[in-house]
Chain A
Amino acid sequence: MIRPFYRFIRAREKLMKVLFLLSSVFAVLALLVIFLFLMMRGIPSIANIGFFRFVFGTRWSVSDPNNQSFGILPMIVGSIYVTALATLIGVTIGLFTAVFLYKFCPKKIAKGVRQLINLLAGIPSVVYGLFGVMVIVPFLRNNVSSNGMGHGVLAASIILAIMILPTIVSITLDALHAAPEHYYEGALALGASKERAVFGVMLPSAKSGVFAAVVLAVGRAIGETMAVIMVIGGSPEMPNGSLFQSIRTLTANIALGAMEATGSILDAMIATGVILFVFTLFINVGFNLIKNKKKKPNKKKKPDKEEEATDEVG
């Protein structure tokens, strides 16, 4: 009587284990399939166009079938340009906001603001885009712009900066809270002002967290699509430095074109996706390397950071 029961149990144990295993392998498989599919369609298309003509070509025009040109350098530069500007604005504001919430405001307000910020992190990107179209673009057009254009680099950067704010603030704040409190107390005991203790001691000791925040923010900004295409204008032009030029990012190029595209144009879109994918992979790998490296030397570094702090304050 007992035997078959045990056999059943053992079979069930094995079956479930295999199921659990398969589900976790599914994540790896999904990643591989995504990678392979993009590469399979993208790489032949890049080869067709020619790698250098594709990546370093400065002209993108697909409307005239007899005179097509697939150069995505303007989009690559555009993505980097907009992301850099957004990160600059977002990190500056986010960093100071985090410091403000850390020591310079009442605890209750800090808690409330933090909750607000966490909620805002979940707001759909199209809503940010809509805000951009209805508020930021008209504002820029009427008050700031030199050429009567509201859409463009600056509008996109501002929207992206607002979108990455929650990430930067909450990670930096976590890092600040994780830094040893006695650094702060030590700095105060040595006669540093509260401001000096925070900016001169605590912020440097939360450096790795700040860095992680920046990398994550860059990843989010470079991959953002909908909010960007709503405010960036979308002409495939080479950025010339003007803040009010209508340009296109890699993501915008995919989204704007791929809906109706077929044939070689679709292939070029997919190739754009491959380039974007490679970009984000690099960012992700870089982030992981930093994260893993930081774990070890941190222990060694901390004592001499304390010395540094005493030097400075003393």
Chain B
Amino acid sequence: MKSADTVTKKRRRITRYTLLKWAGYACAGLAIAALAGILLFVLIRGLPHLSFHFLFGKYSSANPSVSTALVGTLMLVFLALIIGGPIGIMAAVFLTEYAKKGKFVNIIRLAVETLAAIPSIVYGLFGMLVFGVLFGWGHSFMGAGLTLSIMILPVIIRSTEESLLAVPQSYREGAMALGAGRVRTIFRVVLPNAAGGIVSGLILAVGRIISESAALILTLGLVVRNMPTGFMSPGTSLALNVYFFGLVSPEAAAATSVVLVILVVGLNLLAMGLGRLLSKNKGSKKKRPARTIPMLKSGVEK
């Protein structure tokens, strides 16, 4: 390939393709500048405003802190994960371990894909109608958390499915041959071996929960002042606070954005690192498979 490149270097006329290449340089520069610009802008405007008081202090009009939003975000993550997590993981287990190819699986796949494509504001409308109006909860963490738990299903199902499929078939066969039933195989062999992928999928889902705002504006309300009193109380989240502060105090909005960006980037890096760590260690350092069925390992390596 290198030699091929040097050949082309010899004659260099300006053709329309060269122009296209220059356009490529320009566009790439623009794209990187825009994306990096956002990060820089947020950091430059937000970091000076960031303080302990701003993060954890009591909310008042003099000190518009994000403490209420921090608590709210944590509550949302907790609710959405505790409901959406198990359902998503179990759905993925069904799709990879039980289901045979056919119409039924196709319908589920189609439903998952469609769920992923629905705009979040539509989820918000749905959550408001069902949990807010029909159940009479009004704006509540419970309603918002339940809405979010449906929203994150596609992310969790997809990533879990991927990591389950990556578990070698021979592990399953080995476990079965040793007399384990399907359920035992799944819980003792398949899931532990896919744990890394599943956890990084969950982390990505947390990222999605943290960044969500459109669905929350309709289901959670925008109560910035008061600490949430329970799962049925209305409240706010970090992302909602950015919107709210964007209207009144840009500096506070930028500072909240810094917190959000750091959280999201951190979570992404964590998921990436986890994935890399586990794929690197495959076979050598991993403890769990060795504990469960040591014999199978040698079978795989062969």
Answer yes or no: B41 CB below 8 A from chain A CBs.
yes
Question: For chain B residues 11-29, which have a beta carbon within 8 Å of chain A?
Answer: 12, 15, 17-18, 20-21, 23-28
Q: Is the CB of A27 within 8 A of B153?
A: yes
Answer yes or no: B111 CB below 8 A from chain A CBs.
yes
Q: Is the CB of B23 within 8 A of A273?
A: no
Q: Give Cα distance in the complex from A123 to B43, angstroms.
A: 13
Q: Give Cα distance in the complex from A273 to B217, angstroms.
A: 15
Given A96-B28, A133-B246, A223-B119, do A117 and B35 touch, yes or no (CB 8 Å)?
yes
- Chief secondary structure at chain A's binding surface: helix
Q: Is the CB of A273 within 8 A of B122?
A: yes
Answer yes or no: A125 CB below 8 A from chain B CBs.
yes
Q: Is the CB of B217 within 8 A of A125?
A: no
Q: Is the CB of A280 within 8 A of B242?
A: no
Q: Find B24's partner among A28, A104, A118, A255 (CB 8 Å cutoff).
A: A104
Q: Give Cα distance in the complex from A24 to B106, angstroms.
A: 12
Given A120-B38, A125-B213, A195-B21, do A280 and B117 touch, yes or no (CB 8 Å)?
yes
**CB-CB nearest in chain B for A196:** B17
**CB-CB nearest in chain B for A291:** B113
Answer yes or no: B90 CB below 8 A from chain A CBs.
yes
Q: Which one of B125-133, B170-178, B286-294 contacts A? A: B125-133
Residues of A within 8 A of B212 (CB): 124
Q: Give Cα distance in the complex from A27 to B157, angstroms.
A: 10
Answer yes or no: A290 CB below 8 A from chain B CBs.
no
Q: Is the CB of B126 within 8 A of A188?
A: no
Q: Is the CB of B130 within 8 A of A222?
A: no
Q: What is the distance, in angstroms, from A120's C-beta to the closest C-beta of chain B?
A: 5
Residues of B within 8 A of A284 (CB): 113-114, 117
Residues of A within 8 A of B222 (CB): 259
Answer yes or no: B62 CB below 8 A from chain A CBs.
no
Answer yes or no: A183 CB below 8 A from chain B CBs.
no
Q: Give Cα distance in the complex from A105 to B28, angstroms.
A: 10
Residues of B within 8 A of A226 (CB): 213-214, 217, 239, 243
Q: Find A21's partner among B94, B115, B123, B150 (CB 8 Å cutoff).
A: B94
Q: Is the CB of B31 within 8 A of A23?
A: no
Q: Is the CB of A223 within 8 A of B94?
A: no
Answer yes or no: A51 CB below 8 A from chain B CBs.
no
Q: Give Cα distance in the complex from A258 to B217, angstroms.
A: 9
Residues of A within 8 A of B125 (CB): 38, 254, 258, 269-270, 273
**CB-CB nearest in chain A for B134:** A37
Q: Is the CB of A230 within 8 A of B114?
A: no
Q: Give Cα distance in the complex from A106 to B166, angstroms.
A: 32
Q: Is the CB of A23 within 8 A of B25?
A: no
Residues of A within 8 A of B60 (CB): none
Q: Give Cα distance in the complex from A275 to B84, angstroms.
A: 27
Residues of A within 8 A of B269 (CB): 119
Answer yes or no: A134 CB below 8 A from chain B CBs.
yes
How many of chain B's residues have a CB under 8 angstroms from any CB in A?
Answer: 96
Q: Find A127's partner among B4, B38, B91 (CB 8 Å cutoff).
A: B38
Q: What is the distance, in angstroms, from B210's C-beta to the closest C-beta of chain A?
A: 7
Given A27-B115, A129-B246, do A276 and B122 touch, yes or no (CB 8 Å)?
yes
Answer yes or no: B298 CB below 8 A from chain A CBs.
no
Given A34-B122, A129-B246, do A96 and B129 touch, yes or no (CB 8 Å)?
no
Answer yes or no: B207 CB below 8 A from chain A CBs.
yes
**CB-CB nearest in chain A for B267:** A122
Answer yes or no: B98 CB below 8 A from chain A CBs.
yes
Q: Find A277's partner among B122, B157, B214 (CB 8 Å cutoff).
A: B122
Q: Is the CB of A131 within 8 A of B120?
A: no
Q: Is the CB of A100 within 8 A of B25?
A: yes
Q: Which one of B51-59, B194-202, B250-258 contacts A? A: B250-258
Residues of B within 8 A of A52 (CB): none
Q: Give Cα distance in the complex from A13 to B186, angstroms.
A: 11
Given A96-B28, A223-B121, do A195 and B18 touch, yes or no (CB 8 Å)?
yes
Given A38-B125, A193-B8, A284-B114, do A123 and B264 touch, yes or no (CB 8 Å)?
yes
Q: Is the CB of A281 within 8 A of B114?
A: yes
Q: Is the CB of B254 within 8 A of A104?
A: no
Q: Find B31's partner among A20, A93, A130, A223 (CB 8 Å cutoff).
A: A93
Q: Which A residues are closer than 8 A to B by beta carbons? A: 9, 12-13, 16-17, 19-21, 23-28, 30-31, 33-34, 37-38, 41, 92-97, 99-101, 104-105, 113, 116-120, 122-131, 133-135, 162, 165-166, 169, 185, 188-189, 192-196, 198-200, 219, 222-226, 230, 251, 254-255, 258-259, 269-270, 273, 276-277, 280-281, 283-284, 288
Can you list 9 A-B pairs with a CB-CB distance of less than 8 A? A20-B90, A123-B261, A126-B243, A131-B38, A134-B41, A188-B5, A223-B117, A223-B121, A258-B124
Nearest 10 A/B pairs, CB to CB: A223-B119, A96-B27, A124-B211, A195-B17, A23-B90, A20-B94, A225-B214, A100-B28, A24-B91, A126-B242
